[in-house]
A and B are shown apart, each in its own frame.
Chain A
Amino acid sequence: MADDLVPRSDEFGLAHADQSKAPITNQNTASFGKQLLGFWVTFKTMFKKVNTVQYPEVKEPTAPRFHGRHQLNRHPDGLEKCIGCELCAWACPADAIYVEGADNKEGERFSPGERYGKVYQINYLRCIFCGLCIEACPTRALTMTNEYELADNTRGKLIFEKDDLLGPLRAGMVPPPHPMYPNTDDSNYYRGEVTSSHPSQGIAKND
């Protein structure tokens, strides 16, 4: 019976394959020493620091330039940097970004200049975290954070809206809409000459 299973030719190396399944037969002393050496690695590792992280109880910091969730940044007075130009959407190879621009109206200003992003959505089911959108952004409005915990139980929750993506209000920032810093225009903002909010723009956050 067993003979029937032996391949007639060794054209495909089957005979050798069969050999590899055979039990180890040369149990001489040199071989025994080699086996001990192998177990020494195992033994040594028992006293090393463990690499396993007890996620999610324990969280490790990522590499500083890790591509995580996006963030829409603000100018130092709280106005949004995004101008709704859609260059990020244009650059996106996965078609994950949807932007609608709109006019900054008198009395309802969200960004310096004429235009702001009225709708800003990133679909994290599509995003491949390549970072081309960050390179495309002309105002440095879009950057990436190191946040990587992007899982949820519905598709809808993984489409992040502008509110989800906007960076936090830091000290000295006034939540938009509010006017530009007095006696400045958008070019002052881009040159970094606006460093904080002015009382006329509204009540700033202080902490």
Chain B
Amino acid sequence: MSIQELGTESQVQIEMITCVIDGFEITVPKGTLVIRAAEKLGIQIPRFCDHPLLAPAGACRQCLVDIEINGRAFPKPQASCTIPVENGMVVKTQLTSPVADKAQKGVMELLLINHPLDCPVCDKGGECPLQNQAMSNGRPESRFEGIKRTFEKPVPISSQVLLDRERCVLCARCTRFSEQIAGDPFITLNERGALQQVGIYEEEPFDSYYSGNTVQICPVGALTGTSYRFRARPFDLVSTDSACEHCASGCAMRTDVRRGKTLRRLAGEDADVNEEWNCDKGRWAFKYEVAKNRVKSPMVRDSNGQLQEVSWPEALAAAAEGLKNSRSGVLVGGRATIEDAYGYSKFARVALGTNNIDFRARRHSQEESEFLETTKLTATYKDIDNADHILLVNFEPEDESPIVFLRIYKQVHKRSIKVTTIAPLASRGSEKLKAKLIRTTAGDETQAITNISGLTGKSVILLGERISETEGALSAVVKLAADSGAKLGWVPRRAGERGAIAAGALPNLLPGNRSVSDPAARIDMATAWSIDSISNEPGMSTDEMVNSDLQALLIGGVDPMDISAEAKIKLSKKFIVSLEIRQSDITEIASVVLPVAAVVEKSGSFMDWQGKVRKFEAAIDQTLNRSDVRILSMLADEIGKPINLPTVKSARAELDSLGNWDGPSSDMKMRNPTAAQKVSGDEAVLISWRNLLDKGSLQDGEENLAGTARKSTIIISNSRAQTLNVRSGEHVRVSNNYGAITLPCQIGDIDESSVWLPRNSLNSQLIRNLSVVSNSVVKVTKA
């Protein structure tokens, strides 16, 4: 046991051990490594391979110290990163033992023999543990006069990671990370002795979703990111702690900015959330904010139908004119910060006087609205750490919330916990989790959920947002959770969704979980907002608003292609006020476009899937772009019904002061499942989800990142492949009366009646190409 396990709460009494390091006595839990105990005393022992979240390896030998136990000394200095403390242990580090000091200097000299002197061109220069420790624990001058070992460099081990083998000190951090944390052992140490080197398998590149972490933990410049290569030096960068805007995992991040431009993002540290890891999308997808098509100034459509740049007062007046006195609604989008979502929520109720507000720009249902209104979501990362059984329902954590995946994988790797997944096929992620697959097809998950047994109070049920695509499934899950006592977690894909629920950006919810149908809650909110009353009419959902005859819509960051294939045409008949960072399908049809700040340019907070608030500050402050809530506040003033939220801070304070509703809440109305689709012949039920790396608009312009995306394939069952007479890799055509997609096929462990496609990947954008995403009958033929 090492310190990595101290993060989990243990019920058993931890045995304490007392030892002496450099003459100081210290008491630490049993199993603590010497190097970590020394850290607690403030004694820094140099190290390369040691990492608190990876199993000890003792690979670099830099942390040698003199150890004796009860008067008996080890014959040679020992690696302090592999030896746990024991009672009566006396440790002498380089500070008190000349032997340890000499040993460390010797190891450093050996490491530097083959390390090239290319610090001036190395990206790690300036933040390099080897540079620093060579200065603190190395010889002042080299005695080596031979020729250094050289390798061809750099070798791209994937499109986003470059390997310089001659810089490597063989610490095995990258290989241990890939094996123990990510479960993608695509990178190994090849050869032995002096020729030992990091390498990848010949057939498979290092296409892990988590490869960026190896770049971050590499203690030298052996692994570098292609996108950041040669871009800047550490002293050029201004770092800001931030939160990731890409998904609901809620990673702490660090954003490094040079001259008002984001150059890189690193995983931040938060033991309760992402530990020290993040995914490649969070790390390398940020160029969208400097895209050429950023909206720079407010625009209003003129009489010729052209958008013209105008002044702010003019644009606000035009927007207010269109929204005032018309039947209107608000689409928030799933990426708003809590403060912005609160701004939209208050704007809809106060300035527009309606409950027509919805953050869901994806498939959704009335059942889901009720579920989000009535169900307590209690699961956290900590519950995953302590779980005895994890049930995934329509949720692919590796693709849809990668840090949740890492957390589950950690427990699978360490404790071999049971994972069950209710899914149409065994994905790569669920294979890595060694999950028991309960194979379903779209529409018949409810039966599988009802049949689940063996859940306890320590179990965790994690739902993906796609569960709303099956009528009755959420009802079944709520019943299962109530019966078994298992903790329930709902993991949406987008970062802003949980926050939008808290901010009341739903047709049936007011801020703080106050139900629109509850008169007391409405009066409470009306008083807080100093308005006469709040409409008791439940509002419309996203689909209803798009299809309705509403005259005007205020739209945040929403892509109409996420709603439906016809959404753009339907929306183009309405008066649209669009708050956007970039030109999009919405700005094309909008009557008024108001530019807003991208995440790096504003402060705010997201709520992760656990309900934990992830605050962040603006990384780039020299910008004229403002957060949505500020612009909504100006617009409300213009309409004449002010919402009084001039800053993000004031929105935050007001939302905090509202608190959560403590009155009675209603129960969810249980729904019966609908029958699954019947198919025959060459028909199949379409199933899909979004891959982590795909055609998402926040990944625009990141070619290196896109290079590691999984190839678009159509997954069919073995029997269907035989019927169609196709082999793996041959092209298959999936079509319906709207359109068709032709892609290479892959034979997988999928229900015979189903076919799987990526929802929004290269050459497979289902809404655009087929107008449906799941639970719909399509034709599968040989291409």
Q: Are A and B associated in one complex? A: yes
The answer to whether A101 and B235 have CB atoms under 8 Å apart is no
B140 close to A (CB within 8 Å): no
Which of A85-93, A150-158, A176-184 makes up part of the contact surface? A85-93
The answer to whether B154 and A101 have CB atoms under 8 Å apart is no
Q: A90-B235, A114-B154 are in contact. Are A85 and B229 (CB under 8 A)?
A: no
Interface residues of B in 224-243 (CB under 8 A from A): 229-233, 235-236
Q: What are the residues of chain A within 8 A of B232 when measuring CB–CB? A: 86, 100-101
Q: What are the residues of chain A within 8 A of B624 when measuring CB–CB? A: none
The answer to whether A86 and B154 have CB atoms under 8 Å apart is no
B31 close to A (CB within 8 Å): no
Give the size of the chain B interface in residues (CB under 8 angstroms).
Answer: 13
C-beta contact mask, B203-233 vs A, less than 8 Å → 1, else 0? 0000000000000000000000000011111
Q: A85: nearest residue on chain B (CB-CB)? A: B120
A102 close to B (CB within 8 Å): yes
Q: What are the residues of chain A within 8 A of B229 when measuring CB–CB? A: 103
Q: What is the bound-complex CA distance between A90 and B125, given in angstroms?
A: 11
The answer to whether A113 and B121 have CB atoms under 8 Å apart is yes
Q: What is the bound-complex CA distance between A83 and B126, given in angstroms?
A: 16
Q: What are the residues of chain B within 8 A of A170 when measuring CB–CB? A: none
The answer to whether B235 and A84 have CB atoms under 8 Å apart is no
Q: What is the bound-complex CA distance between A114 and B226, given in angstroms?
A: 13
The answer to whether A102 and B233 have CB atoms under 8 Å apart is no
Q: What is the bound-complex CA distance between A185 and B230, given in angstroms?
A: 19
C-beta contact mask, B360-398 vs A, less than 8 Å → 1, else 0? 000000000000000000000000000000000000000
Q: What are the residues of chain B within 8 A of A101 when measuring CB–CB? A: 121, 230-232
Q: What is the bound-complex CA distance between A190 and B233, given in angstroms?
A: 23
The answer to whether A83 and B121 have CB atoms under 8 Å apart is yes
The answer to whether A115 and B230 have CB atoms under 8 Å apart is yes
The answer to whether A103 and B120 have CB atoms under 8 Å apart is no
A138 close to B (CB within 8 Å): yes
Q: What are the residues of chain A within 8 A of B231 when measuring CB–CB? A: 100-101
Q: What is the bound-complex CA distance between A83 and B118, given in angstroms?
A: 11
Interface residues of B in 99-132 (CB under 8 A from A): 120-121, 125-126
Q: A101-B230, A102-B230, A115-B230 are in contact. Are A85 and B125 (CB under 8 A)?
A: yes
Q: A90: nearest residue on chain B (CB-CB)? A: B235
Q: B153: nearest residue on chain A (CB-CB)? A: A114
Q: Separation in Å of the B142 CB from the closest CB of chain A?
A: 16
Interface residues of A in 76-113 (CB under 8 A from B): 83-87, 89-90, 100-103, 113
Q: What is the bound-complex CA distance between A16 and B232, given in angstroms?
A: 66
Interface residues of A in 39-98 (CB under 8 A from B): 83-87, 89-90
Q: What is the bound-complex CA distance between A90 and B230, given in angstroms?
A: 15
Q: What are the residues of chain B within 8 A of A89 when measuring CB–CB? A: 233, 236
Q: What are the residues of chain A within 8 A of B236 when measuring CB–CB? A: 86, 89
Q: A113: nearest residue on chain B (CB-CB)? A: B121
Q: A103-B230, A115-B230 are in contact. Are A83 and B235 (CB under 8 A)?
A: no
Q: Separation in Å of the B13 CB from the closest CB of chain A?
A: 52
Q: What is the bound-complex CA distance between A139 and B153, given in angstroms?
A: 20
Q: A104: nearest residue on chain B (CB-CB)? A: B230
Q: Separation in Å of the A104 CB from the closest CB of chain B?
A: 10
Q: What is the bound-complex CA distance between A84 and B121, given in angstroms?
A: 8
Partner of B121, one of A90, A100, A114: A114
Q: What are the residues of chain B within 8 A of A83 when measuring CB–CB? A: 120-121
Q: Separation in Å of the A79 CB from the closest CB of chain B?
A: 15
Most buried by A among B154, B229, B230, B233: B230
Q: B120: nearest residue on chain A (CB-CB)? A: A85
Q: Separation in Å of the B228 CB from the closest CB of chain A?
A: 11
Q: What are the residues of chain B within 8 A of A85 when measuring CB–CB? A: 120-121, 125
The answer to whether A90 and B233 have CB atoms under 8 Å apart is yes
Q: What is the bound-complex CA distance between A89 and B231, given in angstroms?
A: 14
Q: What is the bound-complex CA distance between A102 and B230, given in angstroms?
A: 5
Q: Separation in Å of the A94 CB from the closest CB of chain B?
A: 15
Q: What are the residues of chain A within 8 A of B233 when measuring CB–CB? A: 86, 89-90
Q: What are the residues of chain B within 8 A of A115 when measuring CB–CB? A: 121, 230
Q: B125: nearest residue on chain A (CB-CB)? A: A85
Q: What are the residues of chain A within 8 A of B153 when measuring CB–CB? A: 114
Q: What are the residues of chain A within 8 A of B154 when measuring CB–CB? A: 114
Q: What are the residues of chain B within 8 A of A102 when measuring CB–CB? A: 230
Q: A102-B230, A103-B229, A103-B230 are in contact. Are A87 and B120 (CB under 8 A)?
A: yes
Most buried by B among A87, A90, A114: A114
Q: Separation in Å of the A92 CB from the closest CB of chain B?
A: 11
Q: Separation in Å of the A128 CB from the closest CB of chain B?
A: 19
Q: What are the residues of chain A within 8 A of B120 when measuring CB–CB? A: 83, 85, 87, 138-139
Q: What is the bound-complex CA distance between A83 and B233, given in angstroms?
A: 13
Q: What is the bound-complex CA distance between A138 and B121, given in angstroms?
A: 10
Q: Separation in Å of the A119 CB from the closest CB of chain B?
A: 11
Q: Separation in Å of the B343 CB from the closest CB of chain A?
A: 38
Q: A185: nearest residue on chain B (CB-CB)? A: B150
Q: A103: nearest residue on chain B (CB-CB)? A: B230
Q: What is the bound-complex CA distance between A87 and B230, given in angstroms?
A: 13
Q: What is the bound-complex CA distance between A86 and B121, given in angstroms?
A: 9
Q: What is the bound-complex CA distance between A113 and B120, given in angstroms?
A: 12
Q: Separation in Å of the B611 CB from the closest CB of chain A?
A: 42
Interface residues of A in 100-152 (CB under 8 A from B): 100-103, 113-115, 138-139
Q: What are the residues of chain B within 8 A of A113 when measuring CB–CB? A: 121
Q: B154: nearest residue on chain A (CB-CB)? A: A114
Q: A111: nearest residue on chain B (CB-CB)? A: B121
Q: Separation in Å of the B452 CB from the closest CB of chain A?
A: 53
Q: What is the bound-complex CA distance between A114 and B154, given in angstroms?
A: 9
Q: What is the bound-complex CA distance between A114 and B116, given in angstroms?
A: 14
Q: B236: nearest residue on chain A (CB-CB)? A: A86
Q: What are the residues of chain B within 8 A of A103 when measuring CB–CB? A: 229-230
Interface residues of B in 472-492 (CB under 8 A from A): none
Q: What is the bound-complex CA distance between A139 and B230, given in angstroms?
A: 17
Q: What are the residues of chain A within 8 A of B235 when measuring CB–CB? A: 90
Q: What is the bound-complex CA distance between A139 and B236, given in angstroms?
A: 21
Q: What are the residues of chain A within 8 A of B126 when measuring CB–CB? A: 90
Q: B233: nearest residue on chain A (CB-CB)? A: A86
Q: What is the bound-complex CA distance between A84 and B154, given in angstroms?
A: 18
Q: What are the residues of chain B within 8 A of A138 when measuring CB–CB? A: 120
Q: A84: nearest residue on chain B (CB-CB)? A: B230
C-beta contact mask, A166-180 vs B, less than 8 Å → 1, else 0? 000000000000000
Q: What is the bound-complex CA distance between A103 and B230, given in angstroms?
A: 7
Q: What is the bound-complex CA distance between A139 and B120, given in angstroms?
A: 9
C-beta contact mask, B624-663 vs A, less than 8 Å → 1, else 0? 0000000000000000000000000000000000000000
Most buried by B among A84, A87, A101: A101
Q: Separation in Å of the A109 CB from the closest CB of chain B?
A: 14
Q: Separation in Å of the A22 CB from the closest CB of chain B?
A: 64
Q: A138: nearest residue on chain B (CB-CB)? A: B120
Q: What are the residues of chain A within 8 A of B230 when measuring CB–CB? A: 84, 101-103, 114-115
Q: What is the bound-complex CA distance between A166 and B588, given in angstroms?
A: 47
Q: Separation in Å of the A101 CB from the closest CB of chain B?
A: 4
C-beta contact mask, B290-334 vs A, less than 8 Å → 1, else 0? 000000000000000000000000000000000000000000000
Q: A139: nearest residue on chain B (CB-CB)? A: B120
Q: B121: nearest residue on chain A (CB-CB)? A: A115
Q: What is the bound-complex CA distance between A112 and B690, given in angstroms?
A: 44
Cβ contacts A to B, 20 pairs, < 8 Å: A83-B120, A83-B121, A85-B120, A85-B121, A85-B125, A86-B232, A86-B233, A87-B120, A89-B233, A89-B236, A90-B235, A100-B231, A101-B121, A101-B231, A102-B230, A103-B230, A114-B121, A114-B153, A114-B154, A115-B121
Q: Which 10 A-B pairs have the closest CB atoms?
A: A85-B120, A101-B230, A115-B121, A138-B120, A86-B233, A115-B230, A83-B121, A102-B230, A103-B230, A85-B121
17 new A-B contacts, CB < 8 A, other than A83-B120, A90-B233, A114-B153, are A84-B230, A85-B121, A86-B236, A87-B120, A89-B233, A90-B126, A101-B121, A101-B230, A101-B231, A103-B229, A113-B121, A114-B154, A114-B230, A115-B121, A115-B230, A138-B120, A139-B120
